[in-house]
């Protein structure tokens, strides 16, 4: 037994070694080279004289095909890095479109955008200009992304087959996501808040949608996951962020499959534009860009039924009302007025009376709750573009671009008004001289004082000779000289047979400029008419001032007879002032003729040196109505959704509003 084992082991000892070197790049190289070695060994051990051609070993090699799961796994492994690259692109391209709303929000908040509309710019032109400018800026960012891919030689994006689809993906993403951001400018009021919020939204949609669908691709063997993933991919096509991210991932996977086929010696180059690859992404983004832009225009335009007829008045208001959501008391309550050419109409009222709200409705800044208004025969409700063509507007707060100079502002709005190019410089210089802005016209408007900003806003409202000029407290913050400059400018507008509607807290200003005025209290007109009519109808009578001379030189004037005369002749009169030789009385219950008659007939008897009779001032009329605003403001209305909300007057609940 031991002898047999020893013989066996001796025969196992290696007598000769054969080492075969082969090219491992070929799939059949190892088998082929081994077969050559085996044939060499066989023929070397043949008997002498044997025919070598009659002896040989034939080898057959048939590698097993990779399964679908194995191919998918290889593809995913190859494209994992490229998927991370795609997510990085989404991350970078989420901040770019979010920045486009910053200036739009600033223009809306400062009302510079609204002022451009009032100056004649149509919303379509405004948004198209913004879109073109934003696309130019976006193209720079897209070009940088492409250059980075080329620099790092990312074959899946920069090969001759994939470079053009990459550019198409990036540009159509900008085409679709930019107008998608525009409606957000109507929602936010702080640019920085909008930028952070929109960037986060873009990141959330882009990264999560692309990553989730990529992960679900690993479980396509499960029918439920496969169907859910296909449905999710279809729904997410509504978002440009997903179209970009998923398109980049699909391009990487497509290139990975092409590389795998090349390893087997197969030429596989599918068209990236095919619907199943990125074709559907490109198509959806192309459509979304148009849809989102049209949707944004719909937000800007307001559509109402046209029911306003042309009339002789430049401005006609009938039952105009505005009630803000969440409140029950109207900010403007059924006001009616007509303003003719060559007329300056004044709106007086304390803060909160509804003056600025009225202007905002007339300019289309806010919607009208009910009623009608027309400018030069064009309805504010339906033909707001035609209204803007006939209107100049100076808002309560300066709607100016702080980066532009005063002269650049006037040139800009002169062009918007349609002033011929050859006349723009002359018109701008006329406005600068008229409003006293010569020294500051070349400086940035952001460095102007409050008074100079009001001058510039007023000049913008007047440029282009609009038929109606709306001035909301134009002289706020102005010095007396600047105020006089402005008054002269307004008078020239009136002399040109154009209409001016003016709000002011200065009674002196209204008396100097206004042909008619109305006093607003809690959103409604309490009185309307000429200044003289209002003084006569709503004033508290007359003021009599008398100067008494001394009976003899060196003596003190005796005021007692004059005092007794006034108290007996005009019962109820009130002594307002009493000085060394002067008396002043307020008389409410007598006519102007009787006052003159009685004072003149007793002038010598009472030693009256001179006297004057004056009417109640407009300030006194205004103060009397302003007291009504204070009394009516005691009514407090809680929001209807507040638990147990009630309406209170003077701290007494009068009506339960329910829950």
Top-confidence range, 88-92, 111-115, 638-642? 88-92
Give tens-digit pLDDT for 490-500: 888 888 888 99
pLDDT per residue over 526-573, tens digit each? 888 887 777 777 766 788 888 888 877 778 888 888 888 888 888 888
> Quick one: how far is CA 184 from the chain centroid?
7
Q: What is the pLDDT of residues 244-297, one digit of tens each?
A: 988 888 888 777 777 767 666 667 777 888 888 888 999 999 999 999 998 888
Q: Strand 542-548 vs strand 608-615: parallel, antiparallel, or unpaired?
A: antiparallel
| Percent of the chain clearing pLDDT 90 (strictly above) | 12
Note the pLDDT tens digit of each residue in 44-72: 888 887 887 788 888 887 766 655 555 55
Q: Which range is least confidently modeled, 258-272, 367-381, 474-488?
A: 258-272
Q: Mean pLDDT throughout 123-138?
A: 91
Could you tell me the domains of the chain?
Answer: 2-54 (no CATH), 68-300 (no CATH), 315-535 (3.40.50.300), 541-615 (3.30.70.1280), 625-658 (no CATH)
- The 10s digit of each residue's pLDDT in 454-476 is 888 888 888 888 889 999 888 88
Which pLDDT band, with edges at 50, 70 and 90, does 169 fall under? very high
Quickly tell me which residue has 């605003």 as its tokens: 629
What does pLDDT average to over the chain? 81
SS3 of 305, please? Answer: coil
Is the backbone of residue 610 left (phi > 0), alpha (psi -120 to 50) or beta?
A: beta
Statement: residue 597 has pLDDT above 90: no
Give me the pLDDT at residue 288, please: 92
What are the structure tokens assigned to 280, written together? 């559907």
Has this prediction a pTM greater than 0.85?
A: no
Burial of 309 (0-12, 13-18, 19+ CB in 10 A): exposed
Query: For the packed helices 450-462 and 406-416, what is the interaxial angle rounded to 10 degrees?
Result: 20
Q: What are the pLDDT digits (tens) for 502-512? A: 988 777 888 88
The answer to whether 337 touches 518, Cβ cutoff 8 Å, is yes
The two three-digit tokens of residue 513, written as one number: 């400029």
Confidence band, pLDDT 50/70/90 cuts, at residue 384: confident
The answer to whether the beta carbons of residues 589 and 566 sit under 8 Å apart is no
For residues 536 and 526, give the distance between their C-alpha atoms in angstroms, rounded to a whole number.
15
Q: Is the pLDDT of residue 178 over 90?
A: yes
Six-digit token string for 210 = 């692309």
Contacts with 518 (C-beta within 8 Å, 6 or more apart), sequence order: 335, 337, 345, 346, 347, 348, 525, 526, 527, 528
Per residue in 297-309, pLDDT tens? 887 765 333 333 4
Q: Which tokens go with 136? A: 């130019």
> How is the beta sheet containing 574-578 ordered, strand by strand?
574-578, 582-587, 542-548, 608-615
Q: Give the whole-angstrom CA distance, residue 27 versus residue 22.
A: 11
Quick check: 101 and 131 in contact, CB under 8 A?
no
User: What pLDDT is recorded for position 310?
Assistant: 43
Environment class of residue 71 by beta-carbon count within 10 Å: exposed (0-12), middle (13-18) or buried (19+)? middle
Nearest partner of 545 among 496, 491, 577, 583, judged by Cα: 583
Q: What is the pLDDT of residue 647?
A: 41
Please compute, for residue 544, the number of CA atoms within 13 A of its CA located in the half-sphere on the CB side: 30
Higher pLDDT, 442 or 68: 442
Separation between Cα atoms, residue 332 and residue 355, nearest integer Å: 8
Mean pLDDT of 183-190: 88
Taking residues 638-642, report their average pLDDT.
39
pLDDT of residue 78: 59
pLDDT of residue 70: 55
């Amino acid at each position: 037994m031991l002898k047999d084992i020893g013989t066996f082991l001796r025969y196992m000892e290696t007598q000769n070694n054969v080492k075969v070197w082969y090219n491992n790049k070929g799939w059949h190289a190892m088998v082929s080279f081994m077969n050559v070695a085996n044939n060499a060994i066989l023929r070397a051990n043949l008997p002498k004289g044997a025919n070598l051609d009659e002896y040989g070993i034939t080898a057959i090699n048939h590698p097993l095909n990779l399964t679908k799961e194995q191919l998918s796994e290889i593809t995913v492994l190859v494209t994992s890095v490229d998927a991370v690259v795609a997510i990085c692109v989404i991350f970078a391209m989420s901040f770019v479109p979010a920045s486009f709303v910053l200036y739009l929000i600033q223009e809306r908040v400062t009302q510079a955008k609204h002022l451009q509309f009032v100056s004649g710019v149509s919303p379509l032109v405004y948004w198209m200009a913004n879109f073109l400018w934003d696309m130019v800026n976006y193209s720079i960012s897209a070009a940088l992304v492409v250059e980075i891919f080329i620099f790092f030689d990312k074959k899946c994006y920069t090969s001759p087959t994939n470079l053009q689809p990459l550019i198409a993906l990036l540009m159509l993403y900008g085409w679709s996501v930019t107008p998608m951001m525009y409606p957000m400018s109507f929602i936010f009021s702080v640019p920085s808040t909008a930028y952070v919020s929109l960037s986060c939204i873009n990141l959330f949609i882009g990264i999560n949608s692309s990553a989730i669908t990529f992960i679900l691709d690993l479980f396509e063997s499960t029918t439920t996951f496969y169907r859910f993933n296909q449905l999710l991919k279809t729904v997410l096509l509504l978002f440009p962020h997903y179209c970009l991210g998923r398109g980049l991932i699909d391009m990487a996977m497509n290139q990975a499959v092409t590389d795998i086929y090349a390893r087997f010696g197969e030429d596989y180059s599918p068209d990236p534009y095919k619907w199943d690859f990125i074709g559907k992404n490109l198509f959806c983004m192309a459509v979304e860009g148009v849809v989102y832009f049209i949707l944004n225009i719909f937000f800007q335009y307001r559509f109402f039924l046209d029911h306003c007829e042309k009339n002789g008045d430049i401005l006609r208001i009938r039952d105009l009302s505005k009630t803000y959501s969440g409140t029950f008391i109207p900010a403007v309550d059924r006001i009616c007025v007509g303003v003719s050419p060559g007329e300056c109409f004044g709106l007086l009222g304390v803060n909160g009376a509804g003056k600025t709200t009225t202007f905002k409705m007339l300019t289309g800044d806010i919607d009208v709750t009910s009623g009608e208004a027309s400018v030069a025969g064009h309805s504010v409700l339906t033909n707001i573009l035609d209204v803007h063509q006939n209107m100049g507007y100076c808002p309560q707060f300066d709607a100016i671009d702080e980066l532009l100079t005063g002269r650049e502002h006037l040139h800009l709005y002169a062009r918007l008004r349609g002033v011929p190019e050859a006349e723009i410089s002359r018109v701008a210089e006329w406005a600068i001289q008229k409003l006293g802005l010569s020294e500051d016209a070349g400086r940035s408007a952001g460095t102007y004082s409050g008074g100079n900003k009001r001058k510039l806003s007023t000049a913008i409202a007047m440029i282009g000779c609009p038929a109606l000029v709306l001035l909301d407290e134009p002289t706020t913050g102005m010095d007396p000289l600047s105020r006089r400059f402005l008054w002269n400018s307004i008078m020239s507008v009136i002399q040109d047979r154009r209409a001016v509607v003016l709000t002011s807290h200065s009674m002196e200003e209204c008396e100097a400029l206004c042909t008619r005025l109305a006093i607003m209290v809690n959103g409604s007109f309490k009185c309307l008419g000429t200044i003289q009519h209002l003084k006569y109808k709503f004033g508290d009578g007359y003021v009599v001032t008398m100067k008494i001379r001394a009976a003899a030189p060196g003596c003190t004037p005796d005021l007692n007879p004059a005092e007794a005369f006034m108290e007996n002749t005009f019962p109820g009169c009130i002594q307002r002032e009493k000085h060394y030789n002067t008396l002043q009385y307020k008389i409410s219950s007598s006519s102007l003729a009787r006052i003159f008659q009685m004072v003149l007939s007793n002038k010598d008897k009472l030693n009256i040196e001179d006297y004057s009779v004056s009417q109640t001032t407009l300030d006194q009329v205004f103060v009397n109505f302003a007291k009504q605003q204070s009394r009516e403001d005691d009514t407090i209305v809680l929001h209807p959704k507040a638990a147990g909300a009630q309406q209170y007057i003077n701290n007494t609940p009068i009506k339960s509003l329910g829950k």
